[in-house]
């Protein structure tokens, strides 16, 4: 069975990205996947302390809730990550998780000595994001962070669902097409993982919808 982790990166429990991710989770479950939900605001997770204890065994040495997440992130086939845009990048909750995953970057590149410039990945990730403004470059910062975060997890940024002009809690529900897009993306991710298909890295970032 395909195993997916769904990471809720917003401080709002019923906010826009959480609503979208819930639809993606339903889509993935309807397609037969086992989905574990991780709500970052409920976890006790220190920021990375940059002590590089992970250099020994590719495992973070800070004892908190990240330990279990670190194990899970190495097991799963796919990831669905949802974060609002906060100052042109992901939320602090999300960024803390990303930085802690530097233990997996260290494992991959320093301990296992994988070469840089990987073109194909065994795993896939979906990124969902929302911002209140409408600028062309609204998602640029977050997309770069997510792409290289997923690379550390040996995962390609398979698809991103990005919605502009959404601010108040639950406002995303006023656009049912976005909820359907999230549901479909969850379903399609499972299909893509089952098929083992992949995007050509040369395509760069997926287009904004």
Which residues form the interface with ligand FMN (CB under 6 A)?
10, 12, 15-18, 84-88, 130-133, 138, 166-167, 169
Q: Rounded distance, CA 198 to CA 95, Å? A: 26
Q: Rounded distance, CA 11 to CA 72, Å? A: 22
Q: Rounded distance, CA 43 to CA 189, Å? A: 26
**Closer Cβ to ligand FMN, 18 or 145, answer by number:** 18
Task: Find the angle CA(123)-CA(65)-CA(155) to the nearest 5 degrees.
Answer: 10
**Closer Cβ to ligand FMN, 82 or 190, answer by number:** 82
CB of 16 to ligand FMN, least distance (A): 4
CB of 23 to ligand FMN, least distance (A): 13
CB of 17 to ligand FMN, least distance (A): 3
Q: Rounded distance, CA 75 to CA 55, Å? A: 20
CB of 91 to ligand FMN, least distance (A): 7
**Closer Cβ to ligand FMN, 84 or 125, answer by number:** 84
Phi, psi dihedral angles at 114 (to 5 degrees): -65, 145
């Amino acid at each position: 069975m395909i195993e997916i982790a769904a990471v809720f990166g917003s401080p709002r429990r019923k906010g826009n990205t959480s609503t979208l991710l819930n639809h993606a989770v339903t889509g993935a479950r309807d397609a037969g996947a086992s989905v574990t939900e991780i709500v970052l605001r409920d976890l006790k997770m220190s920021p990375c302390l940059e002590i590089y204890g992970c250099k020994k065994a590719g495992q973070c040495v800070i004892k908190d809730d990240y330990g279990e997440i670190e194990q899970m992130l190495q097991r799963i086939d796919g990831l669905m990550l949802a974060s609002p845009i906060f100052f042109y990048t992901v939320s602090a909750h999300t960024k803390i998780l990303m930085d802690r995953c530097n233990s997996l970057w260290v494992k991959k590149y320093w301990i296992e000595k994988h070469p840089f410039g990987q073109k194909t990945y065994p795993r896939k990730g979906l990124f969902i994001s929302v911002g209140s403004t409408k600028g062309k470059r609204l998602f640029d910062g977050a997309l770069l962070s997510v792409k290289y975060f997923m690379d550390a997890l040996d995962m390609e940024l398979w698809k991103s669902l990005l919605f502009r002009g959404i601010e108040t809690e639950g406002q995303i529900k006023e656009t049912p097409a976005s909820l359907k897009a999230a549901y479909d993306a969850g379903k399609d991710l499972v299909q893509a993982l089952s098929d083992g298909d992949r995007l050509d890295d040369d395509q760069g970032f997926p287009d904004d919808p």
